[in-house]
Chains A and B, each alone.
Chain A
Amino acid sequence: EPEVTQTPSHQVTQMGQEVILRCVPISNHLYFYWYRQILGQKVEFLVSFYNNEISEKSEIFDDQFSVERPDGSNFTLKIRSTKLEDSAMYFCASSETEPYNEQFFGPGTRLTVL
């Protein structure tokens, strides 16, 4: 069964450093998303991406964040200058052909900012 994959599974970084989180969505999916979950809190939407551009972003997704689909398979989330409060689990998700389709999530990257 096709699945969303994410690397790395755990990333530790120093405050102020840049991090890039990588995702490979399911191959025939057209819509891509990033969510985050701070420990003990609910899953929060960050950004959606379709047709090589951002279609929606939350207030969390400020100028420090960016997304890219550099080739036909990878989807990346970059945080330019990490803060302590960026420590969270980051989930990538993808959905098939319509925005109201089910979204399938990757296993997540646990980001720890020291």
Chain B
Amino acid sequence: RKEVEQDPGPFNVPEGATVAFNCTYSNSASQSFFWYRQDCRKEPKLLMSVYSSGNEDGRFTAQLNRASQYISLLIRDSKLSDSATYLCVVNIVYGGATNKLIFGTGTLLAVQP
């Protein structure tokens, strides 16, 4: 089983649509969770951290379910500028200072005018 699994897409949606991305992870040592976005040939940029209580940042809402090891991202009222690859990322912390990010393969979103 992949450590972090995402639907690769592409998701083609019209402007203004609501789109949801899902992700599952397998390592129970995962301690923190993030969504990053990556534009073509650019670095991953942090979109938001994900908490069990759920968190919202403008049009973006993220949710974590630790029991089912499931992470989601909802984008409302999508804009052309939201077109990118969305990366589900978990932080495996082994104890002390030892940690690493594990990335999913990413879900490609294309917002159409």
Contact = CB atoms under 8 A, between A and B. Distances in A.
B44 A43 contact: yes
Interface string A92-114: 01000001111111111000000
Interface in B35-55: 38, 41-46, 49
Interface string B15-44: 000000000000000011010001001111
B102 interface: yes
Given A42-B106, A43-B87, A56-B94, A99 B44 contact: no
A33 B43 contact: no
Contacts of B43: 91, 105-108
A35 B102 CA distance: 10
Interface in A62-114: 89, 91, 93, 99-108
Q: Does more than half of chain B's interface fall in helix, strand or loop, or is it mixed?
A: strand
A58 to B, nearest CB: 7
Interface residues of A, number: 27
B97 interface: yes
A103 B101 contact: yes
A44 interface: yes
A42 B36 CA distance: 12
Interface in B92-111: 93-94, 96-106
A106 B98 CA distance: 21
Contacts of A56: 94, 98-100
A43 B44 CA distance: 9
8 contacts: A42-B104, A48-B97, A48-B99, A56-B98, A56-B99, A91-B43, A104-B46, A108-B43
